[in-house]
């Protein structure tokens, strides 16, 4: 009998909650220690909701601050001068799509809108796990691309994964299982992969006709499937160029030498980051990593001279 009564009460609970006014529901959430919440005000509901989300993000940053490991040497000066402001900025990057598990209550409608945004504290771990999964997805994509000679994709995904890792609570704890079964920390493994790929790239001048120079790009002594780069045309670095099946022609400025010039392999792909708003925001917070192996000098002549 008691069991049937409990079941009946549980079935009636949602109806009871629905019978509450928005203000009563909001007060119940605020009083429940299981929830993190933020309240916002505005002339429009959308404005109030935006402010409520921002306040929720601030509370989340306070909640997780002690669990974050931030290397302040990697932080951009424009993004904050201390660990606390950096963590707040990092947490804000999660508002662009990742916080799907937040809910809101419109306490009061426009023109004096009040909105409450809230989520369970237990959901925070899932939020960070989703970003870790995204970083690992980029790593797997990079490994696959490298095997097929799509060097542009391999460099892009490795670099993007390394950027996302910096925004995790404990980047050093994220590991990848290599083909030989070793579990390696990604914060150390990814930079080594990028340097290895760049060092195995070769560029050879195959023909010079006037100011037009034909190039052959190889990776592990095979023509690359695809590769992006910039070259010094005698006055400026070019816009991004794409080599397909190892072949590309470049045009030097009049009077510029055609038998010796500099190439920079592309690995950041900042313009393409806009397809992932979270990634773009993370890039603003942390400094760009410069790989010296990405800049090479190309010479014409026989291979011993090269």
Q: Count of CB atoms within 10 A of residue 150's CB?
A: 20
Q: Is residue 10 a part of any domain in this protein?
A: yes
Contact present, 50 and 40 (Cβ < 8 Å): yes
Tell me: cis bond preceding 224? Omega within 30 of 0 counts: no
Q: Is residue 97 a part of any domain in this protein?
A: yes
Q: Is residue 147 a part of any domain in this protein?
A: no
- Helices 151-165 and 277-285: angle between axes, nearest 10 degrees: 70
Q: How many domains does the chain have?
A: 1
Q: Is residue 39 a part of any domain in this protein?
A: yes
Q: Is residue 143 a part of any domain in this protein?
A: no
| Neighbouring C-alpha atoms within 13 Å toward the C-beta of 51 | 13
Q: Is residue 92 a part of any domain in this protein?
A: yes
Q: What mean pLDDT is reported for the chain?
A: 87
- Residue the block writes with tokens 């023909």: 207
Range of the domain at 107: 2-124
15 Cα distance to chain centroid: 42
Contacts of 93 (CB under 8 A, 6+ apart): 167, 278, 281, 282, 285
**pTM for the full model?**
0.81
12-26 pLDDT per residue, tens: 445 545 557 899 999
Q: Is 50 exceeded by the pLDDT of residue 306?
A: no
36-46 pLDDT per residue, tens: 999 999 999 99
Q: Is residue 24 a part of any domain in this protein?
A: yes
Q: Is residue 88 a part of any domain in this protein?
A: yes
H-assigned helices in the chain: 2-19, 22-31, 45-64, 83-92, 124-147, 151-165, 186-200, 277-285
107-136 pLDDT per residue, tens: 999 899 999 999 998 888 888 888 899 999
């Amino acid at each position: 009998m008691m069991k049937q009564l409990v079941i009946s009460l549980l079935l009636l609970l949602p109806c009871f909650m629905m019978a509450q006014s928005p203000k009563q529901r909001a007060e119940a959430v605020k009083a429940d220690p299981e929830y993190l919440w933020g309240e916002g005000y505005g002339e429009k509901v959308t404005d109030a909701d935006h402010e409520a989300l921002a306040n929720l993000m601030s509370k989340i940053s306070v909640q997780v601050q002690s669990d974050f490991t931030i290397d302040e040497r990697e932080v951009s000066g424009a993004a904050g001068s201390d660990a606390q402001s950096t963590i707040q900025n990092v947490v804000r990057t999660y508002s662009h799509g990742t916080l799907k598990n937040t809910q809101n209550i419109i306490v009061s409608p426009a023109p004096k809108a009040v909105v409450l945004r809230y989520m369970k504290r237990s959901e925070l771990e899932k939020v960070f796990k989703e970003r870790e999964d995204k970083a690992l997805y980029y790593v797997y994509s990079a490994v696959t691309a490298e095997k097929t000679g799509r060097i542009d994709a391999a460099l892009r995904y490795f670099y993007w994964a390394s950027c996302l890792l910096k925004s995790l609570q404990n980047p050093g704890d994220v590991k990848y299982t290599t083909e030989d079964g070793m579990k390696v920390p990604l914060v150390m493994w990814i930079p080594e992969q990028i340097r290895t790929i760049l060092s195995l790239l070769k560029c050879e001048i195959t023909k010079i006709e006037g100011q037009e120079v034909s190039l052959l790009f190889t990776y592990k002594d095979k023509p690359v499937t695809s590769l992006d780069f910039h070259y010094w045309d005698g006055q400026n670095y070019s816009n991004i160029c794409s080599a397909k099946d190892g072949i590309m022609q470049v045009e030097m400025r009049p009077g510029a030498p055609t038998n010796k010039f500099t190439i920079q392999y592309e690995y950041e792909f900042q313009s393409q980051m806009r397809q992932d708003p979270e990634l773009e925001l993370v890039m603003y917070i942390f400094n760009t990593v410069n790989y010296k192996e990405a800049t090479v000098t190309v010479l014409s002549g026989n291979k011993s001279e090269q």
